[in-house]
A and B are shown apart, each in its own frame.
Chain A
Amino acid sequence: MERQPIVSLKEVTKRFDDVVAVDSLSLDIYQGEFLTLLGPSGCGKTTVLRLIAGFETLTSGEIYMNGARLNGTPPNKRNVNTVFQSYALFPHMNVFDNIAFGLRMKKCEEGLVRRQVGEALEIVKMSGLENRMPHQLSGGQQQRVAMARAIVNKPQVLLLDEPLSALDYRLRQEMEIELKRIHRQLGITFVFVTHDQEEAISMSDRIAVMNRGAIEQVGTPIEIYEEPENMFVARFVGEINVFDGVVREVNNGGATVEIQGRLFPVQNRKNLGPGRAVKVLLRPEDIQVAIEGEWTEGEPYLAGSVEEVIYKGKTVDLVVRLDNKESINVTQFFNEDQENVIYREGQRVHVNWLYGWEVVLPS
């Protein structure tokens, strides 16, 4: 990936009356990447997209595209195109005319229009449906037409505003793969907005997690999932268990943290000093469970009892009520030496985790 930002947001702020939708946000978007803006509804992610597209005007800050300042340029003069959540196909035009709209506005000659619309239809695998009207298409097909209508203009950046949220689960998964394929095939930059963390993790090169108009963390899906920088990111992306603890001892690169009266060795990336209150975060799949009495040689553990056993096919999920009444979620994968569900409700268990799998954040 070439390290030259194609779109650059510098301290961008957007205020609607008294509400600050985007608060002094800076972000570089690079040529060819698939960047996802992830966040809960109302966090300003769609506003960022609309600012890049030019539908909203900045309250303050700058947006650059290819190094040129973009403030005030109307949407019809920007080399970006948008795929909307509602698809917003023109209901009075057939598929062909919908896709041709952008080219015709640019006064392309009709032969070129026909060729390029044909190519776009091929990319989204909708060839042969040129004469259908939007209301004759399924949700997935409308989605594809909306994609084709945007990419036919060969934008440098394609903005996608929750394009999959209206589709059912199976179709959404299919379209995720399709979107990735189209992204690879076109090699252009995709800026994707979603509130669905699974979607973000499975599709993106980079994710920017947003909250209250600001970016909480930018990173690859692995970084976001494995090393959340703060509690918001940790809680928003995936399920997570939080243990309150206090740092008792610091040794080179590591620390010992007291949780519920027991001492656990952890990695200390943030160099937190002794006495510091911390939160120790663990993904459900990173927690180990053993039935009481089977536990191995003297490792620290937390004791509790199984409250619920949820068989999920690939995994079995447990809700464990610890002895201090907190409940945690644990996901166990099936493997060769453990092919059956061996847990029962009410069973006494011990839980712990491997050193280094935890994330430690200051409280």
Chain B
Amino acid sequence: MSRVFRWVYLGLIYAFLYVPIAVLVVYSFNSSKYSTNWQGFTLKWYGQLVSDSPLREAFVNSLVIAFASSVCATILGTLAAFAFYRYRFVGRKVLYTFIYIVMMSPDIVMGISLLMFFVTLGLATGALTLLIAHITFCLPFVVVTVYSRISGLDRSIIDVAKDLGANEMQVFRHVVMPLLMPAIIAGWLLSFTLSLDDVVVSFFTTGPSFDILPLRIYSMVRLGIKPEINALSTVMFALSLVTVTVAHLVTKEKT
């Protein structure tokens, strides 16, 4: 009895989470122009997706920004986490808390503040400002992910490596880096997905010259939801599914 109840309960939770997505995926294969009734299977919306060149361009832009910002955030974040671990300095705890504050602060606040910042600097909004903005909001996630792993490392491991003749560079390359790799990859994937689907911050920090996918979709749905968007959302959903799965496998990996 309780076993049945447990499965029903669990089923309801997952239905709540996934039914809307399932509906979206199903309707992306619907040949009707209107999402409300089913008129048979088709792949034409996916075809239209491929032929829609502004959309394609926005998609490529999104990938480029996501890739570049996640790589930068990962490098900076890993170094920051290493510094928090390795060195004892005044205000270390306070600074670490500040990392969390950036992570928790609402996107809208971040978007507006970044916009103000760029305007003050006299920077025209576009690809560059968007990239900076994305690095900014991805960075804390990398720091936190990497730091949580690095703080679990036995400090004597670094001492041992030095004792055995390794210099600072060799210690980092042969010992610290390999041990942190799962966290670094997880941090990078997290940044990549965060950057890929950000709307709010991007809305404030990019200009008309540089369109990215989430903003493009946002402007498209203002004129009503086209089946094309269902198809696009399905593609993006599949993409995040793959990333999350990879991230999970990598962090679970034994070291």
Contacts and interface: CB of A to CB of B under 8 A. Distances in A.
B178 interface: yes
Contacts of A106: 165
17 contacts: A55-B159, A55-B162, A74-B167, A75-B159, A75-B163, A76-B162, A76-B163, A76-B166, A88-B156, A88-B157, A88-B159, A90-B175, A91-B179, A92-B255, A101-B164, A105-B170, A153-B164
Interface in B44-84: none
A76 B165 contact: yes
A105 B163 contact: no
A53 interface: yes
Interface in B138-163: 154, 156-157, 159-163
Interface string A161-203: 0000000000000000000000000000000000000000000
**Shortest beta-carbon contacts, A-B, top 10:** A102-B164, A88-B156, A105-B165, A75-B162, A84-B156, A88-B160, A76-B165, A88-B157, A82-B163, A105-B166
B146 to A, nearest CB: 16
Contacts, number: 61
B154 A86 contact: yes
A76 B161 CA distance: 8
A126 B154 CA distance: 24
Interface in A134-155: 135, 149-150, 153
Contacts of B160: 82, 84, 88, 90, 149
Given A84-B160, A105-B165, 20 more contacts: A53-B163, A55-B159, A74-B162, A74-B167, A75-B159, A76-B162, A76-B163, A76-B167, A81-B163, A81-B164, A82-B159, A86-B156, A90-B161, A91-B179, A92-B179, A105-B166, A106-B165, A149-B160, A150-B164, A153-B165
Interface string B240-253: 00000000000000
A86 B163 CA distance: 15
B158 to A, nearest CB: 9
Contact of A92 (B154, B166, B170, B178): B178
Contacts of B175: 90
Main secondary structure of the interface of B (DSSP, over half): helix
A55 B163 CA distance: 8
B154 A88 contact: yes
Contacts of B179: 91-92
Contacts of A85: 156
A80 B159 CA distance: 13
B17 to A, nearest CB: 36
Interface in A40-87: 53, 55, 74-76, 80-82, 84-86
B127 to A, nearest CB: 38
A317 to B, nearest CB: 39
A142 to B, nearest CB: 12
A293 to B, nearest CB: 61
Counting chain A CB atoms within 10 Å of each CB, which of B163, B165, B254 scores highest?
Answer: B163
Contacts of B154: 86, 88
Contacts of A91: 157, 179, 255
A80 B178 CA distance: 26
B177 to A, nearest CB: 10
A116 B254 CA distance: 29
A149 B161 CA distance: 11
Contact of A90 (B157, B159, B162, B170): B157
Nearest to B167: A76
A90 B153 CA distance: 10
